[in-house]
């Protein structure tokens, strides 16, 4: 069973999360539901620092043994940090998608975009529907 | 989508189901790495009911097979299996299939799921052309097939039959009773492990499935999906039809030269003789990624800045903990240990040509 979706994060319909760090930056990753669908993650292609990405555009790539999936930016902005630990241990995303398995930190170009994302309750009902 | 007799069992196990050439098949039950390692270390059970079985019987059954297939079957003994290729007249591979010699004038061909009809109609056409006296019967619908693979396979299978499985040599089979019903068990498979392929009536294949899972429970048996079947076969250096080969590829360009017996007449032989004279321009090789990145089907292969080929199969190898694959490259570049690069999205990733198999079990 997927872990509960934390209330301190906002969610996209593509199963990414963004956490507002209250300093104009957001930390982003994929949801626990997404890692559960992907199962064994064996490779994460991280974006270059300084890369500018628009909301909804490909930010990173996550690969399981069998599949290659884009991770889309939940907000627009510039990549200011990436989770280098994923290079040696991509399965961190499987073990702790909402924490140690974060993917990148972005300097948001429009923090208001966070408002267009789902809150935990809305996202939880979205994945409940997807499961049926 | 077509369903195998085991479909409801996969659903009950919450398997992830995919469309595999028109068949609703389980790609994984838990996750690919776990299922892969279970097969390498204990035993995995695979639903292979989608594959085809064609019976060839009659006075000239052997003549038809000799004319249709690349392999010389003259010395095949009863109870022995031979892998062979079925070619077009141009020498392209329609299918790689196994030939079970059940009795004199009685054979069973085990075909890939996606090529079953094509094989059947091509064999029929060749039979008419040569006016050979034998029957061809597609028995796929009534035939169920399970693969039980892994070091503990024999111990588990022993609970289902009185037959002494230790007497069964690799690539040999026995006709016997499985749960009281007639069946065939062969020591063979598609994983690089010891193991068996089990053929029985589609009506009882579900009971055999249940019985094997129960018998192997304490030994760690698990159902294994097509995802791990693919990583297992690739580590073992086994090729997959319609991925590593197709009708535009000849056996001489891939590690199937050993399936071709040029000393007899067969469909496609003249084309292969021509190709032998000129030498094939491309060759299928194995590679290991030496840096980051996982090569996938259809990624391009480079040497320096020059494009030299394309990846046919690529995956992460759970046993080696590295990315591995097969690629078609220019013959001149196909040198073991040579460094190549593979374009993974926007990045050129380093790789090295290696001999296959990538994995060989300890005997």
pLDDT per residue as tens digits for the range A72-92: 999 999 999 999 999 999 999
Distance in angstroms (rounded) separating the CA atoms of residues A88 and A56:
27
Q: What angle do helix axes B116-130 and B61-68 make, rounded to 10 degrees? A: 110
The full set of domain ranges for chain A reads: 10-125
Average pLDDT, integer, range B143-157: 98
Structure tokens given for B89? 């007249």
Nearest by CB: A65 against B227, B292, B293: B227
The domain made up of B281-354 has a fold known as: Elongation Factor Tu (Ef-tu); domain 3 (2.40.30)
Structure tokens given for B131? 């006016």
The full set of domain ranges for chain B reads: 7-51+141-235, 53-124, 281-354
Give the per-residue pLDDT at B182: 93
Give the per-residue pLDDT at A130: 81
- Those residues with Cβ within 8 angstroms of residue B314's Cβ, 6 or more apart along the chain or in another chain: B294, B295, B296, B297, B299, B323, B324, B325, B326, B327, B342
Distance in angstroms (rounded) separating the CA atoms of residues B36 and B143:
26
Average pLDDT, integer, range B217-228: 98
Give the per-residue pLDDT at B240: 98
Query: How many helices and strands (H and E) does chain B possess?
Result: 8, 19
pLDDT score of B356 more than 80: yes
pLDDT score of A1 more than 80: no
Please judge whether A40 and B31 are an interchain contact, meaning their C-beta atoms are less than 8 angstroms apart: yes
Task: Identify all chain B residues contacting A40, using CB atoms and an 8 Å cutoff.
Answer: 31-34
Name the minimum distance, in Å, from the CA of A68 to any CA of chain B: 9
Q: Which CATH superfamily is domain B53-124 in?
A: Aminomethyltransferase beta-barrel domains (3.30.70.1400)
pLDDT score of A3 more than 90: no
CATH number of A10-125: 2.40.50.100
Structure tokens given for A128? 């409940």
- B70-86: burial string, b at 16+ Cβ within 10 Å, e else: bbbbeebeebbbbbbbb
The domain made up of B7-51+141-235 has a fold known as: Gyrase A; domain 2 (3.30.1360)
Please judge whether B345 and A61 are an interchain contact, meaning their C-beta atoms are less than 8 angstroms apart: yes
Give the per-residue pLDDT at A131: 73
Average pLDDT, integer, range B98-117: 98
Average pLDDT, integer, range A10-30: 97
Determine which of A1-5, B51-55, B97-101 has the lowest per-residue pLDDT on average: A1-5
Name the minimum distance, in Å, from the CA of B317 to any CA of chain A: 8
């Amino acid at each position: 069973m997927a872990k509960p979706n934390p209330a301190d994060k906002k969610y996209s319909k593509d199963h990414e999360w963004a956490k507002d760090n209250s300093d104009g930056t957001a930390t982003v990753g994929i949801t626990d539901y997404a890692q559960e669908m992907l199962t064994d993650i064996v490779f994460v292609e991280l974006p270059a620092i300084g890369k500018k990405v628009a909301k909804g555009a490909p930010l990173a790539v996550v690969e399981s043994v069998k599949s290659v999936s884009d991770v889309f930016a939940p907000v627009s902005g510039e990549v200011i940090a990436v989770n280098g630990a994923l290079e040696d241990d991509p399965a961190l995303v499987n073990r702790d998608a909402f924490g140690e398995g974060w993917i990148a930190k972005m300097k948001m170009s429009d923090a208001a975009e966070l408002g267009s994302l789902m809150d935990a309750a809305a996202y939880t009902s979205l994945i409940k529907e997807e499961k049926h | 989508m077509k369903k195998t007799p085991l479909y409801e069992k996969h659903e009950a196990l919450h398997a992830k189901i995919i469309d595999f050439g028109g068949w609703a098949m389980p790609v994984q039950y838990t996750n690919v790495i776990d299922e892969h390692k279970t097969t390498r270390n204990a035993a995995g059970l695979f639903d292979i009911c989608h594959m085809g079985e064609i019976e060839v019987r009659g006075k000239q059954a052997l003549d038809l097979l000799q004319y249709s297939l690349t392999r010389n079957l003259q010395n095949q003994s009863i109870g022995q299996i031979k892998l062979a290729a079925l070619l077009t007249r141009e020498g392209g591979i329609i299918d790689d299939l196994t030939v079970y010699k059940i009795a004199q004038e009685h054979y069973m061909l085990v075909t890939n799921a996606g090529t079953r009809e094509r094989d059947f109609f091509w064999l029929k056409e060749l039979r008419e052309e040569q006016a050979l006296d034998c029957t061809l019967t597609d028995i796929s619908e009534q035939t169920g097939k399970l693969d039980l693979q892994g070091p503990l396979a024999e111990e588990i299978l022993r609970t289902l039959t009185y037959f002494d499985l230790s007497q069964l040599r690799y690539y040999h089979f026995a006709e016997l009773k499985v749960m009281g019903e007639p069946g065939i068990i062969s020591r063979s498979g598609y994983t690089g492990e010891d193991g068996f392929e089990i053929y029985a009536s589609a009506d009882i294949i579900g009971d055999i499935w249940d019985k094997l899972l129960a018998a192997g429970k304490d030994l760690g048996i698990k159902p294994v999906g097509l995802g791990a079947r693919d990583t297992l076969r690739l580590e073992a250096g086994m090729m997959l039809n319609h991925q590593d080969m197709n009708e535009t590829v000849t056996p001489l360009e891939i590690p199937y030269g050993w399936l071709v017996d040029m000393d007899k007449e067969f469909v496609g032989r003249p084309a292969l003789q021509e190709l032998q004279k000129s030498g094939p321009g491309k060759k299928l090789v194995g590679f290991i990624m030496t840096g980051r990145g996982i090569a996938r089907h259809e990624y391009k292969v480079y040497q320096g800045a020059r494009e030299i080929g394309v990846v046919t199969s690529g995956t992460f190898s759970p046993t080696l903990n590295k990315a591995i694959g097969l690629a078609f490259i220019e013959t001149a570049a196909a040198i073991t240990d040579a460094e190549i690069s593979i374009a993974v999205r926007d990045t050129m990733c380093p790789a090295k040509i290696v001999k296959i198999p990538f994995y060989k079990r300890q005997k």
